[in-house]
Amino acid sequence: MKAMVYRGPYKVRVEEKPMPKIEHPNDAIVRVSLAAICGSDLHLYHGLMTDLRIGHTFGHEFIGVVEEVGSSVRNLKRGDKVMVPFNIYCGSCFFCARGLYSNCHNVNANATAVGGIYGYSHTAGGYDGAQAEYVRVPFADVGPSVIPDWLADEDALMLTDAYSTGYFGAQLGDIVQGDTVVVFGAGPVGLAAAQSSWLMGAGRVLVVDHLDYRLEKARTMAHAETLNFVEYDDIVVELKKQTDYIGADVAIDAVGAEADGNLLQHITGSKLKLQGGSPIALNWAIDSVRKGGTVSVMGAYGPIFSAVKFGDAVNKGLTLRMNQAPVKRQWPRLFEHIQNGYIKPSDMITHRIPLEHIAEGYHMFSSKLDDCIKTVVVPNAA
């Protein structure tokens, strides 16, 4: 089969790989109909993830058709059209029993922190991802859901990560009626977080980025006020100014380890890898939220320390909340919001490419060319 393959930083290509096989009775093999490229894949593409091996196939957002099931699979059958959460999880360990699907203890030999994620290096379990014609889906009775008839394929695809993650980011903000929410990052996760904040009762939503075309999307899709941080000497001071010098009630970091906006942090975090990522957006979130406010972190960071302003967070009495999103938990409510016409997750999709063009797709997304926000990959176009 054809699959996207990592060949080193900034080098990906399509190669022939052996077809995935059923390795456990509860596995399924899924023929991928749509996959997407996530902002998290960029951290891999840029070579920032620990234990990322040559030959690994990325791709953790996908929908497809069940090709084969193992002997113990009861919930799926060949031919079912499924949406698959980006998390791989057993559904029954101590952590899964508490809804911490992204922290499952049974799917990753390094499971002291993250559980299993498709196509996200051996740090996240070493599972091959779905930017490929076929993918092995472990615990097939647990993660995947059959796509309901009324749900469009591209909306289902966005619920397997980006949209559900943004929604989870807003949930972790514990937004109460009338709250002012500031979202850092106008990528897919930030757009979804901004839109979801309204659904949770926000009175004001502000989105910060430095890419005007993405801020434009934040205005049209998420009806947010927007700020381009390069237009201000100090974005934190500006946010204070715009919130009666009190600060936002909730700040959401939808940027993560490769944040721009401070050269020193960017070089030590993203280039020299002396930190587990540049915490600029996170520090801006800590600084711009009000005393006693909540910072929700959806941005991804590496396992080593980052120079986070922790003392300020302590002295301000902040609540810091974060995790890889356990996306299937968000689906029932998001299904309702889609059916009620409140949201259309696929609105963020800007590009659709065949798998054969994956190298160009990564380059475009990484360099933010052609007003790219979200790219869908079609592996079985023929």
Ligand X SMILES: NC(=O)c1ccc[n+]([C@@H]2O[C@H](COP(=O)([O-])OP(=O)(O)OC[C@H]3O[C@@H](n4cnc5c(N)ncnc54)[C@H](O)[C@@H]3O)[C@@H](O)[C@H]2O)c1
256 binds, among ligand X, Zn ion, none (CB under 5 to 8 A by kind): ligand X
- Between CA 255 and CA 281 the distance in angstroms is 6
* 248 touching ligand X, by CB under 6 A: no
- Which residues from 150-179 bind Zn ion, rule CB under 5 A? 161
104 binds, among Zn ion, ligand X, none (CB under 5 to 8 A by kind): Zn ion
Rounded CA-CA distance 241/279 in Å is 23
Please pick, from the candidates 138, 143, 190, 302, the single residue that binds ligand X as defined by CB under 6 A: 190
User: Which residues in 209-228 contact ligand X (CB under 6 A)?
Assistant: 209-211, 214
| Span near ligand X by CB under 6 A; candidates 122-130, 152-160, 188-196, 302-310 | 188-196
Stretch of 72-80, 93-101, 292-300, 309-317 contacting Zn ion, by CB under 5 A: 93-101
Closer residue to ligand X (CB): 210 or 363 = 210
Q: Is 282 left (phi over 0), alpha (psi -120 to 50) or beta?
A: alpha
Binding mask 333-362 for ligand X (x = CB under 6 A): ------------------------------
Nearer to Zn ion, 96 or 175 (CB): 96
Question: Any contact of residue 27 with ligand X (CB under 6 A)?
Answer: no
> Which does residue 93 touch among ligand X, Zn ion, none (CB within 5 to 8 A, set by kind)?
Zn ion
Does residue 183 bind ligand X (CB under 6 A)? no
* Binding region for ligand X (CB under 6 A) out of 46-54, 90-98, 216-224, 293-301: 293-301
> In the complex with Zn ion, which residue's Cβ is closer, 104 or 175?
104
Contact of residue 260 among Zn ion, ligand X, none (CB under 5-8 Å per partner type): ligand X
- In the list ligand X, Zn ion, none, the entry touching 189 (Cβ below 5 to 8 angstroms by class) is ligand X
Stretch 96-135 residues interacting with Zn ion (CB under 5 A): 96, 104, 106
* Beta strand 61-69 pairing with 81-84: antiparallel
Interaction with ligand X in 95-154: which residues (CB under 6 A)?
A: none
61 near ligand X (CB under 6 A)? no
Please tell me the total number of residues recorded for the chain in this structure.
382
Binding status of residue 66 toward Zn ion by CB under 5 A: no
Residues binding Zn ion (CB under 5 A): 38, 40, 89-90, 93, 96, 104, 106, 161
Residues binding ligand X (CB under 6 A): 38-40, 42-43, 161-162, 165, 184-190, 208-211, 214, 229, 254-256, 259-261, 280-281, 298-300, 324-325
